[in-house]
């Protein structure tokens, strides 16, 4: 998602989003660890999104066991402060304006099939903004999930060499490599 554009373009919709937030927003219990970016509500939304985007199966772990939402929280905490607001607004918009997905209840109230239909409505929306938001959520969940080494064995992905493979002459670890390019400090033979 382009956090750099979402804020402004979503402005009108967020006015609509503010009403259900103010009137009917349920209280969300904080997870048993410190959140760095998400509110407990946002954490719940991302947890549910991850459950549907990367649902396990094929021998792959389920996203809850990997803590995908918690890891996403850590990633988004690295954002430049000037860009933080956009993703917060996306999550509010996504959950609390169900009419955009053609549903009556919020995303978090949906069962599994309802949640998939909700996501699909955003994915295939005629509104570019919603497709944009969906892709931001999809990419976040997928990238965090498959960055976790616990998903790699089933992919037959061996993972990094660093710390695993000695590439020769003691180069098992970074930091002691030779300068192999003879030209870096040479005078160019013009």
Partner 1 sequence: MKRPAATSPFTDPANPQVIRAQGPLEIRTEVAVIGSGAGGATFASELAERGFEVALLEMGPYITRKQMNQRERDMLPLFYEDVASQTTADGGIVVLHAHCVGGTTVVNNAICFDPPTWLLDEWAERHGVVGTRRADLAAANAKVNFILNVQKIAPDQVNTNAKVMMRGIERIGIAGDTFHHNRTECLLSGFCMLGCAYDRKQNHHITYVPRALSFGARLYPEARIDRLISRGQQVVEAVGTVRDPVSGKSYPLSIKADAFVVAGGAIWSPTLLLKSHLGNAQVGQNFHCHPIAAVAADMGDETIRAYEGIPQCYYVDQYLQDQGFVLESIFAGPSVSAALLPAWGPSLQRLMHRYEHLASAYVQIRDEDSGRIRVDARGVPVIDYSLSARDAQKSLAGLKLLSRLFLAAGAQAAYLPRAGAPIRTQADIAGMDVDFSPCRVSLVSAHQMGSLRMGEDPRFAAVDSRGKVFGTTNLYVADASVFPTAIGLNPQITVATLATHFANQFSRPLPV
Tell me the per-residue interface mask from 123 to 162 with partner 1, x by CB under 8 A, - otherwise: x----xx-xxxxxx-xxxxxxxxxxx--xx-xxxx-xxxx
Rounded CA separation 86/78 (Å)? 14
Q: Which of 38, 58, 73, 108 binds partner 1 (CB under 8 A)?
A: 58
* Phi and psi torsions of 62, nearest 5°: -80, 150
Q: Which stretch, 13-21, 75-83, 92-100, 103-111, contacts partner 1 (CB under 8 A)?
A: 75-83
- For partner 1, which is the closer residue by CB, 28 or 125? 125
- What CA dihedral angle connects 74, 133, 114 and 39, to 10 degrees? 30
User: Closest separation between CB of residue 116 and partner 1, Å?
Assistant: 7
Site for partner 1 in 14-43 (CB under 8 A): none
- 113 lies in the site for partner 1, by CB under 8 A: no
- For partner 1, which is the closer residue by CB, 26 or 126? 126
- The set of residues, in sequence order, having a beta carbon less than 8 Å from that of 6 and lying 6+ positions away, is 86, 87, 89, 90, 129, 132, 133, 136
Question: Considering CB under 8 A, how many residues would be counted as binding partner 1?
Answer: 80
Task: Identify whether the C-beta of residue 97 lies closer than 8 Å to the C-beta of residue 17.
Answer: yes
């Amino acid at each position: 998602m382009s956090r750099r554009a979402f804020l402004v373009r979503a402005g009108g919709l967020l006015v609509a989003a503010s009403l259900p937030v103010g009137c009917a927003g349920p209280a969300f219990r904080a997870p048993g660890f410190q959140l760095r970016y998400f509110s407990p509500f946002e954490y719940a939304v991302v947890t549910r999104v991850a459950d549907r985007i990367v649902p396990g199966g094929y021998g792959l772990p389920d996203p809850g066991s990997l803590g995908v939402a918690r890891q996403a929280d850590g990633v988004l905490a690295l954002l430049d402060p000037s860009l933080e607001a956009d993703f917060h607004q996306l999550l509010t918009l996504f959950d609390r304006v169900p009419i955009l997905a053609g549903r009556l209840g919020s995303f978090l109230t949906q069962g599994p099939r309802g949640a998939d239909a909700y996501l699909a409505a955003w994915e295939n929306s005629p509104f570019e903004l919603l497709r944009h938001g969906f892709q931001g959520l999809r990419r976040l969940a997928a990238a965090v999930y498959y960055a976790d080494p616990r998903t790699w064995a089933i992919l037959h992905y061996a993972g990094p060499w660093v710390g695993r493979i000695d590439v020769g002459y003691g180069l098992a670890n970074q930091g002691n490599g030779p300068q192999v390019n003879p030209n870096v400090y040479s005078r160019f033979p013009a």
